[in-house]
Amino acid sequence: MKSKTTNKYSESVTIQRLSEFFLTIAGLTLFSIEFIKNVFLPPYEFGEITKHMDELGVKSLPILGVTGFIIGLVLAMQSQPVLQRFGAGSFLPSMVSLSVVRELGPVITALIFAGRVSSGIGAELGSMRVTEQIDAMEVSAIEPFKFLVVTRVLACTIILPILTVYVIFIAIFGAYLAILLSTGMNFQLYVNSVVRSLQFSDIIPGIAKTFVFGFIVGIVGAYKGYNAKNGTAGVGKASTSAVVLSSLLILLMDMVLVKITVLFWG
């Protein structure tokens, strides 16, 4: 009897969570449509966009730089014994560069960016919502959606590809240090191997999908914060759920974009 009650309870919880997830996706879709409507309408807040790009991008450089360096270093250290086992040690620079440029660099940069930025946007807008600052802006004839949401989403969409390029260069340099310490490879030889292995069909899809990831980070954080409820507890929930949802959507969208990339670029 007790097991049946437990099973019914777990099923109801699962159904409730699934319904909440799909309601969130529906709300996020409508929120994105509202963003698309407003992004092309004046006034254009270029000053706010630039300010948010500086805040979100420059302050993310240290953590992203360390992350990129460790990615390249660890990837080279772990891959070298495997490649040497099959007599392919000379392909290590090519393997590392392709892995970082096509997949690891864009995805890990987006996830780190989501952890820092999406939660910050959710907390900031959530605080403004529960303290009625957004309502005050509406009364003052200021369009809060245009000023608060559109500027932040555009800033995230524009700055993430730039940060991804930065992380890729740091990761490739970190990989070189690992190879230098183990084999003493010449830097010029390493650079030549990396350049020969990379093509535009590798670089363009990897960088292009970060525009989508940046949009996801911005729109999810703004959606969660803009619709926050229940005081300070709601702000914390908005911040946490923004990170979780944006990270999940980044991974799901990456799966779709990888399939599209394979179909068009091979």
pLDDT at residue 203 in the model:
86
**Among 89, 92, 55, 58, which Cα is nearest to 75's?**
92
Range 211-230 average pLDDT: 91
pLDDT at residue 166 in the model:
95
- What is this structure's pTM? 0.89
Q: DSSP letter string over 49-71? A: HHHHHIIIIITTHHHHHHHHHHH
> For residue range 8-58, what is the model confidence (pLDDT) as tens digits?
556 666 777 778 778 888 888 999 999 998 888 887 788 888 999 988 888
* Cβ atoms of 122 and 239 closer than 8 Å: yes
The span from the CA of 71 to the CA of 178, in Å, is: 11
The span from the CA of 116 to the CA of 105, in Å, is: 17
Sequence-distant (6+) residues with CB within 8 A of 122 are 220, 221, 222, 224, 225, 228, 235, 238, 239, 241, 242, 243
pLDDT at residue 138 in the model:
75
What is the pLDDT of the chain when averaged over all its residues? 86
The span from the CA of 71 to the CA of 107, in Å, is: 12
The span from the CA of 147 to the CA of 46, in Å, is: 10
**Among 154, 144, 108, 138, which Cα is nearest to 124's?**
144
Range 121-139 average pLDDT: 85
Extract the runs of DSSP E, i.e. beta strands, from the chain: none
pLDDT at residue 13 in the model:
65
Please compute, for residue 112, the number of CA atoms within 13 A of its CA located in the half-sphere on the CB side: 22
